Every structure is written in structure tokens, then in C-alpha cells.
Amino acid sequence: MRVRVPFGRRELVGVLIRALDESPVEPARLKSVLQILDREPVLSTSMLSLLQWAADYYHHPLGEVLKTALPSALRQGQGLAVKGLSVWSLTPAGTDVDLSQLNRAPLQRRILKALADTPTGLHGGQLAKISRGWAGAIRQLVAKGWVGVRESELSGGAISPAEPAPALTAAQNAAVDAIAASLNSFRAFLLHGVTGSGKTEVYLNVIARVLPQQRQALLLVPEIGLTPQLVARVRARFPISVAVLHSAISDKERLRAWLQARDAKAQIVLGTRSAVFTPMQSPGVIIVDEEHDTSYKQQEGFRYHARDIAVMRARRENIPIVLGSATPSLDSLRNATKGSYERLVLPDRTRTAALPAVHLLDLRRLALNNGLSPPLLEHIGKRLHRGEQSLLFLNRRGYAPIYMCHDCGWLAPCARCDGKLTFHKHRQRLRCHHCGADIVVPETCPDCNGVNLHALGEGTERIESVLVSLFPQARVVRIDRDSTRRKGALEEKLSQVDVGDADILVGTQMLSKGHDFPNVTLVGVLNADQGLYSADFRASEQLFQQIMQVSGRAGRGHKPGEVWVQTYHPDHQLFTALRCHDYDAFAQNALDERREAGYPPFAHFALLRAESPKTDAALTFVQFAHQLACSCSLNGVDVMDPLPSPMERRAGRYRAQLLLQATRRRPLHDFLNNWLPRLEAARASKRVRWSLDVDPMDMY
Ligand code: ADP
Ligand code: ZN
Ligand code: ZN
């Protein structure tokens, strides 16, 4: 239960997890709770014990773990009773208003117009899309008697009649049956289905088997903004309440969704990473879509992996869990080989006979036109001619990654990082993609005053402008973080592609996520070598997953697709596997390498990171931590050398790290339980900012 307590001079909301008869603290120094905020526990016993487990596993303070699990409205002490969602709509008087009366109040005018277009009314989240200042304008419209408000039971979208499901293929049926056969016990399934093989259809059918048992389904997705189609499909299939939780909803909407899930008013809970902590009265299945996606790992504060927590949660709730992907993580594949997970395979696409043909373009023999090879341009031209769409993938936003002086060789550096600034031509800015620094483009070289400044290399912005000039008749749509910053911009662009208002798509990894664009018949991968020789041992896995996912966007409709990959290393094993769509061959090879090197999933890592504005402070601290570790009992744990981080200076801070590894988890955790408290107690630990990352996903 939540309590309000005095804390220094402030009052804070805390969570009461246990009551004791005695305290080691002197009675005179104990303070009283000011108020008990809940009459019933805000977290169930099973949820609390899951969170306790997570706090232990990630060696993170329980308070912060609980904080992650509670919606912010509850953290601030708000009551558990929520009113329905307020929905505003026009009154009869409002429908007759002549809009020109509102010429001097443009916001009221826009809202009135929007309400006139939506007779069923709009809720706060929808009105906020019109303008942040919507609340004041609505109040005035209500005062004028033109707008009325009512409470609605439902969250978001209206309920529509269920959409009929297609008849399943044999492989889909087998998968659904296998999962449905263990609805009453824990079992982890790895659903490995090639792109377009109908994994989502399997999820929907499993959910359809769970709901009649009066149980709920939790469906986790990497990023909701990138998969609006999935949300729409779930809503269309099940005419029941779906609670949707992601970062872009308001605190009030989040609390509503959370309570609906907790009280089983919502039978389906759909959300991103932190939704794994959504309470459910009667959970029946957990599904993690695109389980390989790195966005399931929180990269700051409480660094949990939502997929791993989901598996633990399913185990404790004694229900099945389904991890789906066309490119499963090596960790999950290894679990399947060991027999901890049961692997289910969907080998074929549902709509077209074949996966796209993958071809390599050997860049050593081709002259590039701004990053584009002549054969690729020719293939794009053919698509334009046939009225089909092309998709070009380049995982680098901005116009050019380097801005340089031709006279003296100066490369525009970031003042606060060990990195270069990216040139953004449209905005005429130089930006750092590591710390967010953003400066005007200098007219002359700061070193030699020369005026011969050039942008070197390609980002998505340059590719877009090259395509526009080469194919003036084509409609080019760019999808990356810059072009989709405005709220609603991504949805607009995706629907432009859907309805055929686009001929060529250019974009970053945002394009590789679950989109289903049936008219895309050509995928071009512009710089496949990026990350091939990265210092990070997971880089090639992520590179392969991205290329395979983006290739999977080709030929999903009835027309066959083709993929052209530009590379300087056509003989690399990774591309050989890609050509045959042989994820298993790639994975087997990568797993062999990991085994040899003693890397995860054959070992377990914990990474201590430290940073400080002072030059050597972080390194000094990890050196101290290293010594301290060596003085602890190291049974089965290897302590690597303390090192500066691969990018030593970032956002004005110097960084260093210390890697710990062990072949078995238990000794690693025993060691951490011994070492961390001593590290925390040491004075050195107060001089830098530091954190521990259990199962780190990147080594930076
Ligand atoms: P995945 O998630 O594996 O990439 P989807 O579930 O998005 O694949 O399915 C790809 C397309 O095939 C979707 O448009 C879906 O409606 C369609 N589909 C899935 N299963 C079937 C089926 N059994 N029969 C016909 N079409 C199907
Ligand atoms: Zn110069
Ligand atoms: Zn920077």
C-alpha cells in the first residue's frame, strides 16, 4: 500500500511492503506515517514478488523498481478511483455556430471544427494533438454552451464489430495448437517465423483461445508508434476492451489503462517495454513480438530487459509465453537448443510463394553516385515504371556524417564528445548524434579560415535529395527520427505509403520494423557494412537482424520482391546466409564464435560504468572497483581490466568501465551481492556517477 511519509523537509509517497514489530532504529528517531493512501494493496502479492526478484537480479534499489511499475499518477499519491475518460462533443447549439464568429479565437475555432468532424466526440489525448493549450479553449467553448462533456467507459478507439480471421495455414495451426495445449502451465515458446509468415495471426488465435477462459492476454511490442497496424489489427479482431500502454499517452490515460488491466476490465493489454509490469487479475498468456528487438532493454536507471522479465513473470504465474521473431536473438535460440524453450517454426510466407530474391552488389567494382550504385538506380527506375514501390535502407540520419575543410582537413568535431558532427542540410545545422549538441554551420573553417567546406558521406537526407533530382517524377518519402519528430508525422507518412501516395521510401531502422507494405517490391540496403567490424560483440547480430527484417519488407503482397545489398565484402559469411534467407546458418556460426570467445549466451556479463566531468575520475574509480573486486572471493567470476569506454568522452563526461563475466549466473550474483555493498560504502563511489548493468546489450 502507498503511504505518505515525511522525508527531510518534504513529504513523499512511499510503498509499504512489510510491517515489523521491532526496528533496529531507535524509537525516538522513527517518524510516523502521515497517511495511508490505499485501502487495499496497490500491487498484488505475485507482482510484488516479481518486482522483488527483479530488484535482486538487476541489483537495483527496490524503491526504483517499484517506481517503474507504478503509473506516475499513483507515484504522486493520486487515488485509485479514476473517473471515466472525459469526452467532449458539440451541443445542438454548437452545431449551428458560424465559425467566422471565432475568427479572433483560432484555437477555439479549430477545436470546434474538429468536434464537428467527429460527432462521437474527442477525448483529452486527441484534443492535445490539436494543441497543447486545448484545455483552456475547451473551457471557454463549454462556457458558451457550444460543447458538452460526458464520461466514457472506454479508453480510446470505439468498439467495432469483429473482423473475420483468415483460415490458418498448417504451420500456423500447429503453432496455435502447441501453445493452446499448455494454457494452464508455464512453457516458453520461441515462434520463429520468416517475415510475412503470419506470426501476428498466430498471436491473435492464441489470444482467442485464452479469452473464453476469462483470462487476459499481455502483448508486448517494441515501439507502438512504429506498429500502428498491429494495434489496429488487435482492435479490429476483438470487439472488447484493449488497454494500450506506451510512452506517448497521458498520465491519466495510463492510470486508466493500468486499472482496467488490474481489474480485468480490459481483457487484452498491449504495450511497450514497461507494460511488462502491468498488473492483471487473471493473466492467461504473455506474447512478446519481435523478441530480438533491443528496445526491450531499458538503457538507463533500472536497466531491465522486458523480455526476460516477461519470461520470469510467465513462470511465476504458471502461464505460457510466446516469443515471436523472424530473427530470434541468439540468447533465445540458445535456450531453444538447450530445450528450455520450445521452438515453433513458420517456414513459409502466407501470401506469396517465395521470400524475395537477395542479390549482392559488389561495391569494389561499382562507381557510386552519392552512395547509390548504377544497378540499384536502374532497379528503382523499373519499379517507378511499373507503379511499384521501392524501399531504401540506410541506418544513418542527417545529410552527411562528416563536415570537413578541404583546405586543411578539419573535420567538424563535437565539443563535448569524441565524435564528429553530422551535417543536417535542410536545417543548416551541425548536430551531434551522441549528446544532442546543435550548432550553426560555420561559413569558414575555424582552423584555417578557408571557405572550401564540404559534406562527406551519405545520410538519409542526402539520399532523399539525390533521388528527388534523379527521379523528378517520383514521390519520395523519408522516414527517420528527424522527419517524424512532429506528433502524427509518422502515421501520416506510413499511411501515405499504404494508400500508394509514395514511390520511394528512404529510411533508417525505423523502416525495418513490422510494417506490411504489399506494394513494395524492391528493397535496397545502401551500406550493409556499417557495424560489420564494430567493437561490440552484438553488432553483427543486430546488423544481420536489421538487414533481414528490412529485406522482409519486399514482396509481401502478390508481386514477388527483390533485395539488392550494396557491400564491399560480398564474400562475408553473413551475406552468404542472407542470400539463402538462412537465419539458422548465420545464427549457428555466430553462436560458435560466441562460444569460442566465451561471450553471452555462453557466459553472463555485468558491466560497471562510471562517468565524470573530471578527466581521470571515472577510470580511477573503476580501477578502485577492480582492486576491491580482486579482494573479494572470486569463485567462478572473471574480472576484466578496467578500461576507458570505447567512446571515452560523451556529453562532456569522461567514461570508463569494468566488465565482469562468469559462465554461471549464481556465482556472478553471489559475487555482486558481496562486492556492490562494499563499493557503495566506499568514499570513492561518491566522486563519480556510476551504474551496474546486468546482461548489458551494448558495451558502450
Ligand atoms: P508476420 O507478423 O509473420 O510478418 P503477418 O502476421 O503480418 O506476418 O502476416 C502477413 C500477412 O499475411 C498479413 O497481411 C496477414 O493478414 C496475412 N495472413 C496471415 N495469415 C494468413 C492466412 N492463414 N491466410 C491468409 N493470409 C494470412
Ligand atoms: Zn580548414
Ligand atoms: Zn556530442
Distance 449 CA to ligand 2 centre (A): 6
Q: Which residues line ligand 1 (CB under 6 A)?
A: 166-169, 172, 193, 195-201, 350-351, 516
pLDDT value at residue 123: 78
Distance 532 CA to ligand 3 centre (A): 23
Measured by CA distance, the residue closest to atom 20 of ligand 1 is 198
Nearest CA to 389 among 452, 321, 471, 459?
A: 471
Identify the nearest ligand to the CA of 418 by its number.
Answer: 3
How is residue 201 written as a grid cell? 495471426
Mind listing the pLDDT tens digit for each residue in 436-455? 999 999 999 999 999 999 99
pLDDT value at residue 83: 62
Mind listing the pLDDT tens digit for each residue in 152-199? 654 444 444 567 789 999 999 999 999 999 999 999 999 999 988 999
- Banded pLDDT at 84 (limits 50, 70, 90): low
Nearest CA to 450 among 505, 408, 509, 394?
A: 408
Identify the nearest ligand to the CA of 412 by its number.
Answer: 2
pLDDT value at residue 153: 55
Strands (E), 651-688: 653-662
Instruction: Find the helix or strand (DSSP H, E) in which 243 lies.
Output: strand 242-245
Mind listing the pLDDT tens digit for each residue in 86-96? 788 898 888 88
Task: Examine the pLDDT at 225 and tell me if it is beyond 80.
Answer: no
Mind listing the pLDDT tens digit for each residue in 263-274? 999 999 999 999
pLDDT value at residue 156: 44
Is the model more confident about 78 or about 81? 78
Task: Examine the pLDDT at 547 and tell me if it is beyond 50.
Answer: yes
Mean pLDDT (whole number) for 368-391: 96
Rounded Cα distance between 74 and 308, Å, is 25
pLDDT value at residue 155: 45
**How many CA atoms within 13 Å lie on the side-chain side of 190?**
21
pLDDT value at residue 82: 66
Least confident of 223-232, 424-433, 484-493: 223-232
Least confident of 25-29, 187-191, 341-345, 554-558: 554-558
pLDDT value at residue 126: 78
Ligand 1 pocket mutation, candidates 190, 191, 200, 327, criterion most atoms within 8 A of CB: 200
Rounded Cα distance between 14 and 8, Å, is 14
Looking from the CA of residue 346, the nearest atom of ligand 1 is 3
Contacts of 312 by beta carbon, 8 Å cutoff, 6+ apart = 50, 53, 54
Averaged pLDDT score across all residues of the chain: 91
